[in-house]
């Protein structure tokens, strides 16, 4: 259950949280034009995974930050107090700006996050074969659907149903992540095809991993539980 999970706030040093909260109390921050790009002043960090504290719209918001082995491919994933993804920002090797995932409307990027603190957390790259097995996710209407992943990362429906999820996992330069492409049909809350990442994080237990979109469609955060 979500209530049993450790909050991301617990992963940050108490002094850092106090300093961050104090800074927010004094008031600072800024917005952007509401386009699909963002300006984020992220400190230079080496390959790995980090928990981050940011200011978003004058409030403290915590999330995870991933840096690829090339030192340039990055992903920032902010979460609410239920560990649900609220914003995703990505930057590729040749990009100078952060791209905002799921920006169907300008309100998604009305304010850029201001990074207040980062703390390194254990992270390792993993192969698609490590996720081989059968899984279940819950859809927006409360129904559930199952899919399987083979050793090559192919995603297939487990049983015939009105909702079918197919796709492919692939390697990522960023630790704890795999590249993801999904095609679905008749699944509540999902539309057509989309791309993103599979995130394996021990903080999400009992979920095995989550599927998070990074494209321009509606933001998706699907938790997969082993069957």
Q: Is 24 in contact with 55 (CB distance < 8 Å)?
A: yes
**DSSP-based three-state secondary structure for 155:** strand
Q: Which residues of the chain form beta strands (DSSP E)?
A: 37-38, 48-56, 59-67, 74-79, 85-91, 98-100, 114-121, 133-138, 144-149, 154-157, 164-170, 177-185, 193-199, 209-213, 221-226
Rounded to a whole number of angstroms, the CA Rg of the chain reads 17
Q: Dig out the tokens for 158 from the structure.
A: 């487990």
Residues paired with residue 78 on neighbouring β-strands, in sequence order: 63, 87
Looking at residue 103, what is its pLDDT? 60
CA-CA distance, 178 to 66, in Å (whole number)?
12
Of the candidates 187, 120, 125, 201, which has an alpha carbon nearest to the alpha carbon of residue 155? 187
Residues paired with residue 73 on neighbouring β-strands, in sequence order: none
Looking at residue 110, what is its pLDDT? 59
Of the candidates 219, 217, 214, 220, which has an alpha carbon nearest to the alpha carbon of residue 73? 214
Looking at residue 34, what is its pLDDT? 35
pLDDT per residue, tens digit, the chain (227 aa), is 443 444 554 555 444 444 433 333 333 333 333 347 888 888 889 999 999 999 988 888 999 999 999 998 999 999 998 899 999 999 987 777 898 888 644 444 557 899 999 999 999 889 999 999 999 999 888 889 999 999 999 999 997 778 999 999 999 999 999 999 999 998 988 888 999 999 999 999 999 999 999 987 888 999 999 99
How far apart, in Å, are the Cα atoms of 23 and each of 29, 41, 111? Answer: 10, 16, 17
Looking at residue 20, what is its pLDDT? 38
> Tokens 């490590």, residue?
130
- Which residues 6+ apart lie within 8 Å of 216 measured at CB? 36, 101, 102, 103, 104
Question: Phi/psi of residue 85, each to 5°?
Answer: -70, 130
Looking at residue 162, what is its pLDDT? 84
Looking at residue 122, what is its pLDDT? 92
Of the candidates 44, 62, 66, which has an alpha carbon nearest to the alpha carbon of residue 54? 62
**DSSP-based three-state secondary structure for 9:** helix
């Amino acid at each position: 259950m979500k209530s049993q999970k450790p909050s991301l706030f617990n992963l940050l040093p108490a002094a850092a949280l106090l300093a961050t909260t104090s800074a927010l109390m004094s008031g600072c921050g800024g917005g952007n034009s509401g386009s699909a790009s963002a300006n984020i002043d992220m400190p230079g960090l080496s390959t790995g995974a980090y928990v981050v504290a940011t200011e978003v719209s004058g409030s403290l918001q915590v999330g995870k930050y991933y840096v690829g082995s090339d030192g340039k491919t990055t992903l920032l994933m902010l979460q609410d107090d239920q560990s649900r993804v609220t914003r995703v920002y990505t930057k590729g090797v040749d990009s100078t700006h952060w791209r905002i995932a799921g920006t169907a409307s300008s309100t998604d990027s009305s304010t850029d996050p201001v990074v207040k603190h980062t703390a390194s957390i254990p992270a390792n790259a993993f192969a698609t074969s490590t996720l081989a097995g059968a899984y279940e996710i819950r859809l927006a209407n409360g129904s559930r659907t199952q899919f399987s992943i083979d050793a090559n990362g192919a995603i297939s429906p487990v049983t015939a149903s009105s909702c079918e999820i197919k796709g492919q996992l692939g390697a990522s330069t960023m630790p704890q992540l795999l590249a993801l492409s999904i095609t679905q049909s008749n699944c509540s809350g999902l539309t057509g095809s989309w791309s993103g990442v599979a995130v394996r994080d021990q903080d999400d237990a009992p979920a095995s991993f989550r599927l998070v979109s990074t494209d321009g469609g509606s933001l998706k955060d699907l938790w997969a539980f082993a069957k």
